[in-house]
Structure 1
């Protein structure tokens, strides 16, 4: 029966279903399973002490010319390195008590964002101003009274490699991430609802997809860690040397 239902899905629907299954599997994995992917440190055996052998009497060395030591210039002070991204904790600080969430959809995939970190919801009423040479995940700038909002092609950012064709044409809204300059383009916005922390399958480790805090099985949606998502976007902007202002 399940096979018959799968055959009725379109190619795009099948890709979305597969991706959601992978998200659910990722959320229920244990830290030990993810640690198996990490390289195991090897123990270096100490080398045996060298054995001293008797040395035959050698001829007297010829006096060499004195070596003139040239002092080298002091090394230049290196620039301060970029801050290293740290894997977020398993449970965000806003998840200690029941919290309100908002569901929105991206190419058929349901995502949820906590209302406490929802900056705003903007309707896409005019074309987003694109930036030549920008990566696929960056749609462009949406001017506004509170400043320019950098709009992310959410399907390209979240579902890389499994994006349905013409997904960008279905975007109708932009979800602003807290007070950051970033917004996620989405197809539709649903109703808000209250979640108890026990209803979420929190991820025990987030070495992959750090933005995914967990999944809500009852609503079949992925819960976004807003602050981590914003940090990842800012990191991508720095590493790809984008001028998005």
Structure 2
């Protein structure tokens, strides 16, 4: 039935639905994997020592000294972290108590972001042109009186390889990430609402898609870690030696 429903979708809709399924799968399987690891890590009890049989002489049993077994220390394995890797804390500091959240749409994909880390929301009133030689996910500069905002093509950054051809044509707003000079272009911005931490399925390992903090259960959408997203963009700019100013 699911395959029939997917077949009825247009190509862009199918790509978005497939990517959303992948995001939700990434965000919700971490706990299951950790449960498996925890079970495997439980100590295995050794088999009980069998008592001496009646056929053995009592004297010989009494004279035997117990063998002294010196435990072999386990080797210390250091985790080697590549210099270009980045994995944020498992739980953002703003997730300790209920927080205001905002849902926005990118190429048909719903994403949620905590309002406490939104710098501002700007309307796109004129075309933002990409600089020659810049990566596909970089749209250009939105000049402002106090800040020139670097605008990210959110679909290219988040859904690389599955972006609808007309994604940029539908961008109407730019969401500034915290106090950084980066902003995410998006189609629409929804109403804000209060989200309890228990309503989120948090990821506890984020070596892949570090910007994905978890899943908002009731809305079945991905929750963005704003600081992790901003840090990744800064690292991308530095590591690729991009001059985006």
Q: Please tell me the TM-score bracket, short chain as reference.
A: 0.7 to 0.9
Q: Helix, strand or coil for the counterpart of 1:179?
A: coil
Per the TM alignment, residue 87 of structure 1 is displaced from its structure 2 partner at its CA by: 1.1
Determine the C-alpha separation between the residues in 2 that align with 1:160 and 1:223.
Answer: 18
How many residue pairs get aligned? The number is: 201
Per the TM alignment, residue 7 of structure 1 is displaced from its structure 2 partner at its CA by: 2.3
1:15 corresponds to: 15
Matched, 1:244 2:244: yes
2:130 corresponds to: 130
Which runs of no fewer than 5 residues in structure 1 stay unpaired? 37-42, 45-82
Which range moved further: 166-175 or 3-12? 3-12
Residues 48-76 of structure 1 deviation map (CA, whole Å, 9 limit, x = unaligned):
xxxxxxxxxxxxxxxxxxxxxxxxxxxxx
TM-score of the superposed pair, with normalisation by structure 1: 0.77
TM-score of the superposed pair, with normalisation by structure 2: 0.77
Which runs of no fewer than 5 residues in structure 2 stay unpaired? 38-73, 76-82
1:74 corresponds to: none
Per the TM alignment, residue 221 of structure 1 is displaced from its structure 2 partner at its CA by: 1.2
> Does the Cα contact within 8 Å between 2:211 and 2:229 map onto a contact in 1?
yes
Residues 175-206 of structure 1 deviation map (CA, whole Å, 9 limit, x = unaligned):
00011000000000000011000000101200
Determine the C-alpha separation between the residues in 2 that align with 1:146 and 1:85.
Answer: 33
> Does the Cα contact within 8 Å between 2:86 and 2:207 map onto a contact in 1?
no
1:143 corresponds to: 143
1:229 corresponds to: 229
Residues 27-50 of structure 1 deviation map (CA, whole Å, 9 limit, x = unaligned):
1122684899xxxxxx99xxxxxx
More helix by share: 2
